[in-house]
């Protein structure tokens, strides 16, 4: 709208005829009172006419924005010229009157009315001339604008790219008279940033800053339009105070007026179109309306383009094939990028092809229906790629109109993975169905949803009996509420729960033992189901019970062997030693020696058997068991040397204090090997040498003797139960015990020939603590 300053600039020249008419009318009244009232009233018609014309023109000049101040001054020039002509006519009339004598009309009337009449007539002529000029200029401008609008409509209809469209619009507007410059900008962080421009620029956009709000840089037409989403006009660069921040830059480039049109659709601002003209008052009401309509059309086109681009980007980013095909011909009308990628063809090569060129069974599948399709259809089909690969797909198709043609919009999803998953799921279900252990699945509240046949066989419950119930029907009553509370807290927290030896109750009321594992099924950090596996260990528990009873019996036997028999034999040995002092008969002494030897053998046997039973029945130490061989080995060497004074028993080198995986039964290992080295030795000078070395993982004990050695054929059997050496008086169990213990420690024992005679026993013990399985 026009500013108050613009309206006042029109009022000043428009008031001139009004003031002039009032003056003329006052003069006519005054002289009418002087004696000629009728003539005065008649002659006052001219000043009245002048006053009326002035008021009419004043109103039109104030409110008609198409008339500039310069045009109004031109109208005043016509008025003054008419007044001068009227004055000249009055002067001629007065001269004529003086020349011929007499006074027909009073001189004042002649002057006033001639001047006023001339002014009024000239005003009418001037107004008519100026209006014709204005109309002609408006017509030319309107013609240019309409031509520009037609071109803009063509561009908007044919150009899809926003950047190209905006540039084309600016170029078209800048080429239309009287426009000299046009640009489009978008709002970025409160500042309007140019995206396209055309016309007389000369660095104008680089030299200015326009904001949407805050400060003088937001008060111009562009900032106002961006802020209010309404068009804003600035009709005079030089006079409009709101254009101050940009006036100098605009004046240098000849900009005289400006309009800014928001490109907004339903509250969304896509930018602002700013146009500059090379004359003031260039944007009248009609032009403004036309340009606003251009802005609406351009904004709708940009919005539609943005929507299409978003949709295209969305479709092309999908992993699914999306294509449009004609119902009547089966031709491909359009497709997304995934379609081209999956089929291995270019877009130009696919569009226009028929469906049956890459679909295995078009007719057999549901790609076409009888008559016209009217609703969505879902079916499975297969694509054949250009590489010869067959891709199974699930198709969802709906009828649409595409560019006036009956078509189907189809979304095809690759179901290769789904089919593999289905096959895997079917395999898993078959495995569960045929599993030998009971398996059941519950929901998050513990309600049974599935049981396998093994569950039915194990518990006696049919699926129909248990599905919909809770596993509480299996409770035997042996466990407290706290037990089940702990169970639920464990699995509800996402952890697995395991219990071996749980007692459950069958449908017939009998109890059975199970090894139970319950695991939560977690999806998106939420427990949705539970799966439980029951392994029936009733037979195992019964075997364990029988073994415990057997072990108790063996333990009793061990006590008898190690204590009662051994104690009795110690008494026999003691008595035989007393008898040796009292028996002189040689035959009796030979029998007594035999009694003593057999008694020693029985004592040794009971000791070895006791140690073997201790190894087999003893409690397992914890996994941190590790001891040093030094003390055990030295003690046993010393005991052997004391028991066989005629033998040379010694340790060569230092014994490392390295700790190995073993327990206190290690002394039995050393004692049996050392005793074996002496008992089998028939040399005149028995010799036993002990050496110890180590590598990265093991400590190795070497026990060498100079006895007869072990024949190669017997070396693989020397550690068997009951195996005796040549002419041995041993038990036959000692080396079996050695091998059993060492292997249980995670080591091994071997025997090889010594040079020149004898044997070397090599005992390899693993360094470090034992695991529970390796310790006895």
pLDDT digits (tens, 9 = 90+) for 295-314: 998 899 888 888 777 777 77
The count of other CB atoms within 10 Å of the CB of residue 177 is 17
What is the dotted CATH code of the domain comprising 318-414?
Answer: 3.30.450.20
The count of other CB atoms within 10 Å of the CB of residue 402 is 15
| DSSP secondary structure letter of residue 655 | P
Bridge partners of 627, per DSSP, are 660
Q: How far is CA 160 from each of CA 154, 397, 562, 572, rounded to the nearest angstrom?
A: 12, 28, 103, 118
Q: Give me the pLDDT at residue 131, please.
A: 64
Residue/partner pairs of 302-305 with CB below 8 Å, 24 or more apart: 302/162, 302/165, 302/166, 302/263, 302/270, 302/271, 303/265, 303/268, 303/270, 305/160, 305/161, 305/162, 305/165
- In angstroms, the CA 603 to CA 570 distance is 7
pLDDT below 70 — which residues of the chain? Answer: 1-144, 146, 148, 347-348, 362-366, 368-374, 553-554, 556-567, 601, 604-605, 607-624, 720-733, 771-776
Helices 162-174 and 285-317 pack at an angle, to 10 degrees, of 160
Q: Give me the pLDDT at residue 727, please.
A: 39
What is the dotted CATH code of the domain comprising 420-536?
Answer: 3.30.450.20
| DSSP secondary structure letter of residue 561 | I
Strand ranges inside 629-678, DSSP E: 648-651, 659-660
Burial string for 118-139 (b: 16+ CB within 10 Å, else e) reads: bbbbbbbebbeebbeebeeeee
- In angstroms, the CA 35 to CA 41 distance is 12
Q: Give me the pLDDT at residue 730, please.
A: 44
Q: Give me the pLDDT at residue 601, please.
A: 67
The correct CATH number of 619-766 out of 3.40.50.2300, 3.40.50.300, 3.40.50.1100, 3.30.565.10 is 3.30.565.10
Q: How far is CA 564 from each of CA 560, 600, 608, 735, rounded to the nearest angstrom?
A: 5, 15, 15, 25
Superfamily of domain 159-312: GAF domain (3.30.450.40)
The count of other CB atoms within 10 Å of the CB of residue 308 is 11
- In angstroms, the CA 479 to CA 1 distance is 91
The count of other CB atoms within 10 Å of the CB of residue 641 is 17
Best CA proximity match to 747, nearest among 685, 663, 687? 663
Q: What is the pLDDT of residues 647-657, one digit of tens each?
A: 999 999 999 98
Q: Is the pTM of this model over 0.85?
A: no
Q: Give me the pLDDT at residue 232, please.
A: 93
Q: How far is CA 161 from each of CA 120, 169, 188, 703, rounded to the nearest angstrom?
A: 59, 12, 21, 94
- In angstroms, the CA 212 to CA 260 distance is 13
Torsion-angle region of 181 (φ positive above 0: left; ψ -120 to 50: alpha; else: beta): beta
- Give the total residue count for the chain: 776
């Amino acid at each position: 709208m026009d500013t108050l300053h613009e309206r006042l600039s029109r009022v000043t020249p428009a008031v001139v005829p009004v003031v002039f008419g009032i003056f003329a009318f006052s003069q006519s009244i005054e002289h009418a009172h002087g004696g000629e009232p009728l003539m005065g009233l008649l002659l006052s018609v001219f000043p009245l006419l002048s006053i009326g014309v002035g008021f009419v023109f004043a109103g039109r000049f104030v409110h008609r924005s198409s008339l500039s101040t310069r045009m109004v001054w031109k109208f005043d020039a016509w008025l003054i010229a008419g007044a001068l002509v009227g004055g000249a006519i009055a002067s001629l009339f007065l001269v004529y009157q003086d020349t011929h004598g007499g006074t027909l009309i009073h001189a004042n009337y002649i002057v006033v009315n001639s001047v006023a009449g001339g002014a009024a007539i000239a005003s009418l002529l001037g107004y008519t001339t100026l209006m014709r000029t204005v109309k002609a200029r408006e017509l030319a401008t309107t013609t240019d604008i309409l031509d520009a609008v037609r071109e803009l409509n063509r561009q908007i209809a044919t150009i899809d790219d926003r950047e190209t469209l905006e540039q084309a619009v600016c170029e078209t507007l800048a080429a239309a008279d009287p426009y000299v410059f046009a640009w489009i900008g978008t709002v970025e962080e409160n500042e309007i940033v140019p995206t396209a421009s055309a016309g007389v620029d000369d660095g104008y956009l680089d030299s200015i800053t326009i904001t949407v709000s805050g400060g003088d840089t937001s008060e111009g037409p562009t900032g106002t339009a961006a802020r209010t989403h309404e068009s804003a006009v600035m009709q005079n660069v030089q006079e409009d105070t709101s254009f101050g921040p940009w006036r100098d830059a605009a004046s240098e480039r000849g900009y005289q007026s400006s309009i800014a049109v928001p490109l907004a659709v339903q509250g969304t601002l896509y930018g602002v179109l700013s146009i500059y003209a090379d004359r003031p008052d260039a944007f009248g009401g009609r032009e403004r309306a036309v340009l606003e309509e251009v802005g609406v059309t351009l904004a709708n086109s940009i919005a539609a383009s943005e929507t299409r681009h978003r949709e295209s980007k969305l479709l092309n980013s999908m992993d699914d094939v999306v294509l449009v095909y004609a119902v009547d011909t089966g031709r491909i009308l359009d497709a997304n990028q995934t379609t081209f990628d999956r089929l291995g063809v270019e877009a130009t090569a696919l569009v226009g092809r028929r469906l049956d060129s890459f679909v295995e069974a078009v007719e057999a599948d549901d790609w076409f229906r009888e008559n016209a399709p009217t609703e969505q259809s879902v079916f499975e089909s297969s694509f054949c790629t250009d590489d010869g690969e067959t891709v199974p797909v699930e198709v969802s198709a709906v009828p649409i109109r595409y560019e006036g043609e009956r078509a189907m919009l189809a979304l095809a999803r690759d179901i290769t993975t789904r089919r593999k998953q289905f096959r895997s799921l079917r395999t898993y279900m078959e495995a569960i169905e045929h599993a030998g252990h009971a398996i059941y699945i519950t929901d998050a509240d513990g309600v049974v949803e599935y049981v396998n046949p093994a569950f039915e066989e194990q518990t006696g419950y049919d699926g129909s009996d248990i599905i919909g119930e809770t596993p509480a029907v299996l409770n035997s009553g042996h466990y407290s509420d706290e037990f089940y509370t702990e169970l639920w807290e464990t699995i509800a927290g996402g952890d697995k729960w395991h219990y071996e030896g749980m007692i459950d109750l069958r449908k017939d009321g009998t109890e059975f033992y199970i090894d139970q594992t319950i695991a939560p099924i977690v999806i998106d950090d939420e427990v949705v189901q539970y799966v439980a596996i029951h392994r029936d260990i009733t037979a195992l528990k019964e075997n364990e019970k029988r073994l415990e009873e057997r072990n108790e019996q063996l333990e009793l036997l061990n006590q008898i062997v190690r204590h009662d028999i051994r104690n009795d034999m110690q008494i026999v040995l003691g008595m035989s030693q007393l008898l040796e002092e009292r028996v002189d008969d040689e035959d009796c002494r030979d029998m007594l020696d035999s009694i003593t030897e057999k008694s020693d053998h029985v004592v040794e046997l009971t000791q070895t058997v006791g140690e073997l039973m201790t190894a087999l029945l003893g409690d397992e130490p914890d996994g941190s068991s590790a001891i040093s061989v030094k003390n055990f080995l030295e003690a046993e060497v010393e005991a052997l040397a004391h028991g066989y004074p005629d033998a040379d028993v010694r340790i060569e080198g230092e014994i490392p204090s390295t700790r190995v995986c073993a327990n206190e039964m290690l002394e039995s290992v050393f004692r049996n090997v050392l005793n074996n080295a002496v008992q089998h030795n028939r040399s005149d000078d028995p010799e036993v040498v002990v050496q110890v070395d180590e590598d990265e993982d093991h400590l190795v004990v070497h026990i060498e003797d100079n006895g007869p050695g072990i024949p190669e054929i017997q070396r693989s059997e020397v550690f068997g139960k009951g195996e005796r050496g040549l002419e041995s008086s041993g038990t036959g169990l000692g080396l079996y015990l050695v091998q059993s213990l060492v292997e249980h420690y995670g080591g091994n024992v071997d025997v090889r020939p010594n040079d020149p005679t004898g044997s070397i026993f090599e005992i390899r013990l693993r360094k470090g603590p034992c695991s529970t399985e390796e310790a006895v």
